[in-house]
Amino acid sequence: MADAFGARLAAAMDEHGPLCVGVDPHASLLEAWGLADDVAGLREFSLRVIDAVGGRVAAVKPQAAFYERHGSAGVAVLEETIAAARAAGTLSIVDAKRGDIGSTMGAYAEAFLRDGSPLAGDALTVSPYLGFGSLAPAADLAAQTGRGLFVLCLTSNKEGQEVQHARTADGVSLAASVAAQAAVLNAGAEPMGSIGLVVGATIGDAVAATGTDLQAVNGPLLAPGVGAQGAGAAELAAVFGAARRQVLASSSRGVLSAGPSVDELRAAAAAASGEARAALRG
């Protein structure tokens, strides 16, 4: 890839607005769209979303779990969805939250970040909870292939606080440590680096409570929870403050509930993108 992921994402956010549409084909949405909870329904749902929003939003984020639950045929649909996003000229973030050590992490990296792999989108979500250094195989391969990572940092689930808010012997929270180590990998990158963080849009004062410096990360901040999950302009401002221009707001149900009509999906995505632009860049 000619440009690093961070540069390509920054350009896409400037052009289309800072919105990522989650592609979450869970059973209730398939039913709401009048589709069967099987591989055929999965494929119809996924490709219709890409048809509706491809070339119109900064990124899409297929959630791997909803494909994996259908076995190998479902994973094949995930591969097809990634390829469709690429054909539409839209960045894809594969939401697989992989995290392991050594050769196993290396194998995950090969699956999701290697040139030529059918599962390789433009970026991958990863978990740092076996130590940030365990992500090195993924970070190295992402750098080599021009792809990106989104590292879990401050998530919206209440259980996450047990780990993310915990402090080391020197008093630094784990969330702050993750952000600082991402910042090292992004040092000097312009307009921003390719190692992003996942920071929930509904976490309230957690950024300040954990002493996490999001602005210093110099990378994208993927913010789930926008729209149907409750986060609007006020919540985004409260959570991200001066780091708002780095935020890629993620909306899944808020857009997908407008389906199955392609026109209505497009209208919902356009509205969500406009709201995100006003909240984060107004």
Task: List residues with catalytic annotation.
Answer: 97
Beta 19-23 vs 59-62: how paired, if at all? Answer: parallel
Q: Token pair 């600082």 is at which residue?
A: 180
User: Is residue 202 a contact partner of residue 156, using CB atoms and an 8 Å limit?
Assistant: yes
Residue 174: CA count within 13 A, CB half-sphere = 18
Give the C-alpha distances (Å, rounded to integers) separating 132 from 127, 181, 182, 223, 232.
Answer: 8, 7, 9, 20, 31
Give the orientation angle of helix 136-145 with respect to helix 102-113, to 10 degrees.
Answer: 30
